[in-house]
């Protein structure tokens, strides 16, 4: 399938480079394929761990870039030809990661206007020991300040409430 290019790499308002829509995009559109090196799960896990350790206690917030393709293989998207790696996280994303038929696509979950920056939820699990290392500057009204999967926002809020209550008592 030939997909028309609806995006370009540009300077991001959020962080470093980003992907900007070059035309209006409808909801549920496959926009950009997340490509990379196909590696075994074992190799993917090893690389994830190495990268996480590297970013721990460092000034740079790096991405791990490993996606699960199926139960045997991962995709390592850290390669330069994978432009989808420039897409930033947002607390109010306009895209999501779609994995179907052994392909990973970034698809729109709402209407996107020409000039808007693409974003998706990186899906980082909440971990009370290191969430502060991943500051979010997505600029969304609902931004919670850290890169945490929206699935885990409840956990984060519960944890913060506990800290505030402790301080007040």
- Nearest Cα residue to 30 out of 100, 91, 85, 78: 100
Describe the chain by its helix, strand, coil percentages, rounded to 5.
Answer: 25, 25, 50
What's the min distance (Å) between Cβ of 9 and Zn ion?
A: 21
Nearer to Zn ion, 21 or 91 (CB): 91
For Cα atoms 29, 32, 138, give the angle at the middle one, nearest 5 degrees: 90
Asked if residue 87 binds Zn ion (CB under 5 A), the reply is: no
Shortest separation between residue 147's beta carbon and Zn ion, angstroms = 7
Q: How far is the CB of 40 from Zn ion (least distance, A)?
A: 33
Choice between 17 and 30, CB closer to Zn ion: 17
* Closest of 74, 78, 82 to residue 45, by C-alpha: 74
Least distance CB 122 / Zn ion (angstroms): 10
Q: Does 91 bind Zn ion (CB under 5 A)?
A: yes
State the minimum distance, in angstroms, from the CB of residue 113 to Zn ion. 20
In contact, 33 and 85? CB cutoff 8 Å: no
Residue 138 touching Zn ion (CB under 5 A): yes
Which residue's entry shows tokens 């559109």?
Answer: 29
Q: Sketch the per residue contact string, 143 through 162, with Zn ion: x for CB under 5 A, - otherwise.
A: x-------------------
Residues 86, 136, 148, 156: which binds Zn ion (CB under 5 A)? 136
Residues 6+ apart with CB under 8 A from 11: 17, 18
* Contacts with Zn ion, residue ranges (CB under 5 A): 91, 136, 138, 143
């Amino acid at each position: 399938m030939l997909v028309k290019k609806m995006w370009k790499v540009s300077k991001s308002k959020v962080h470093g480079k980003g992907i900007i829509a070059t035309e209006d995009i409808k909801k549920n559109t496959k926009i950009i394929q997340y490509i990379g090196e196909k590696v075994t799960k074992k190799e993917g896990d090893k690389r994830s761990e190495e990268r996480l350790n590297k970013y721990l206690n460092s000034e740079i917030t790096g991405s791990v870039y490993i996606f699960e393709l199926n139960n045997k293989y991962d995709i390592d998207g850290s390669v330069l030809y994978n432009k989808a790696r420039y897409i930033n996280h947002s607390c109010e994303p306009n895209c999501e990661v779609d994995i179907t038929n052994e392909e990973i696509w970034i698809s729109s979950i709402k209407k996107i206007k020409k000039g808007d920056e693409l974003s998706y939820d990186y899906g980082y699990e909440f971990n009370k020991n290191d969430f502060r290392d991943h500051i979010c500057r997505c600029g969304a009204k609902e931004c919670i300040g850290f890169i945490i999967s929206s699935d885990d926002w409840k956990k984060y809020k519960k944890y913060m409430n506990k800290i505030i209550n402790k301080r007040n008592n």
